Amino acid sequence: MTNNDREIILETLLMVTKEGAFSHQALKNVLDKYQYLEKKERAFITKVVSGTLEFMLQLDYIIDSYSKVKVKKMKPVIREILRSSVFQIMYLDRVPDAAICNEAVKLAKKKGFKSLSGFVNGVLRTISREKEKISFPDLATRYALPQWLVTYWQQDYDSEVIATMGAAFLSRAPLTVRVNEGKIAVDALLTKLAKEGITARKVPDFPAAIELTEIDYLEKSESFRAGEFYVQDLSSMRVGVVAAPKEGDYVIDVCGAPGGKALHVSELLKGSGQVSVRDLTEYKVGLIKENIAKSGLTNIQARVQDALVLDEQAVAQADIVIADLPCSGLGVLGRKPDLKRRITEADLSELATLQQEILAVVKAYVKPGGKLLYSTCTINKRENEDNTGKFLAANPDFSLVSEKQYLPGIDPGDGFYIALMQRKTHG
C-alpha cells in the first residue's frame, strides 16, 4: 500500500476523532473524493480505518504502555498515525512491521512533524518487538470496551459472559439476509446468487435466512435490487416469528423505519390482513416506503405518526402491536464502532424512560386478547427486563407470554431483547 493510502487513512481518522464525524460517513466521503483508488486500496483503507476505530480503546492502552507521552496528550496527527499503525502491527499480517514503521515515520515528516518522527519510530518498533508479550489487565482493554460499560454490565452478567460478548463484537459476523419468499424460494435464490458470483448458504433454524460471504457491493446484485432479499440480522427476524401473525391480523408497528420487521410480518400474513408501519419523520417513512415498493407487498402501508402521541383511530384496533423501540443499541456494538465511543451511562437511563413513555401510549392500540411485542437491540436490563416488569406492574390487563434476552456469541445473531405480552380478553 502506498503512503498516499496512509495519508487518506489519517485524514479519515481525524475527521472522526477530531471533527466528530460518523465513521461510515467519513469513509464514504473520502472514498467518494478519491475515486481513482483501486479496489484493493479502498479495501485496505476501509479495513484500517474501521479496525482502528473498533480497537481504539485497546490500541490506546498498548500505546500508553510503551510511550512516555500518553495518547490523550499527543498531537492529533501523531496520535492517529500511531493508532492506525499499532492496529496494523497487531491485527494485519499483510504488511511487515518494519514497513509499517517506515511508512508511519514518512507520514509524520510529511505532515510537518519531523521532530517527532524519532518518537513515532521508537514507539512503533518497541510495540512490534514486544507484541507477543502484550497482555491486557481487564475486560475493557482486552475487548476494547468502555470501562464504565463493563462495570455496568457486571451488575447483571458474570465476567465470562461479558468476555464472550466482547469477543463476538470484535469478530466479523457474516451478513445475513431474509429471503422475500413471496418473490422467490430460498433454494432458487441460492442458485441465482451463485450465478451472480455471491457465496451464500442457509442458516440452521432460520428457514427464511441466508448468510452471504465475500460480498463486496450489495447494490451490484440483481436479486438485491429486485427486492428478492432484505438485509436483516437473525435476531431481528425473531420478531416476526415471536409475533406469529395469524391470517387476517391487523398489525401496527409503532417505530418501524426502515421497515425490516414490519415487512417480515407482512410477508408472514401471506397477502392477508394489514400492517400499518409508523415512524417519526417524513424522511424515515420515505425509507419504509422505498422498501415496501421494492418488496412488492400490498398488505402494508407506512405513515408518519409520533409514537408518543395517541392515534385515537387506532385504539383497540390491533391484533398485534410491535414496539421495536429506540434503544442504546448495545447488542450491535460490533457493527457500530462509533457507538462505543459516544454512548454514555446517562443515555441508557434517558432511553429507558422514553421506552416506558412510548409503551404507555401504544398499549392502547392492542385489542382485548391481542398481543404487544416489545423489543430492543440492546443488552441492558434497565431498558429491557426492568421496563417490561414496570409495564406489567402498571398494566394488570396485560400478562407476559414470553421474554428473552439474546446475547451475542451465545445466541446466533446480534444482541437483542424480545418480550411478548398479551392483553386480557376482558377486565
Contact positions toward ligand SAM, by CB under 6 A? 236, 255-261, 278-280, 284, 306-308, 324, 326
Q: Which H or E element spans position 171?
A: none
CB 417 → ligand SAM: shortest distance, Å?
A: 11
CB 338 → ligand SAM: shortest distance, Å?
A: 16
CB 324 → ligand SAM: shortest distance, Å?
A: 4
Which residue lies nearer to ligand SAM by CB, 108 or 255?
255
CB 416 → ligand SAM: shortest distance, Å?
A: 10
Residue 96: what residue type? P
Tell me: is residue 324 an annotated ligand-binding position: yes
Nearest CA to 102 among 83, 84, 88, 121? 121
Tell me: is residue 233 an annotated ligand-binding position: no
| Given 101, 255, 327, 377, the catalytic residue | 377
Answer whether the bond into residue 76 is a cis peptide, omega within 30°: no
CB 309 → ligand SAM: shortest distance, Å?
A: 8
Tell me: is residue 60 an annotated ligand-binding position: no
Which residue lies nearer to ligand SAM by CB, 5 or 267?
267
Q: Using CA atoms, how far apart are residues 3 and 106, in angstroms rounded to an integer?
A: 8
* Residue number of the CB atom closest to ligand SAM: 255
Go through 376-412 and write b for each residue having 16 or more CB atoms within 10 A of its CB, e for each that does not.
bbbbbbbbbbebbebbbeebeebeeeebebbbbbebb
Which residue lies nearer to ligand SAM by CB, 260 or 370?
260
Q: Which H or E element spans position 223?
A: helix 222-225
Residue 377 annotated as catalytic: yes
Q: Using CA atoms, how far apart are residues 323 and 140, in angstroms rounded to an integer?
A: 32
SS3 400: strand
- CA angle 198/224/54 to nearest 5° reads 70
Which residue lies nearer to ligand SAM by CB, 122 or 326?
326
Other CB atoms within a 10 A radius of the CB of residue 413 amount to 23
Which residue lies nearer to ligand SAM by CB, 86 or 377?
377
Q: Which residues are annotated as a binding site?
A: 279, 306, 324
Question: Residues comprising the binding site for S-adenosyl-L-methionine?
Answer: 279, 306, 324
Task: Write out the catalytic residue numbers.
Answer: 377
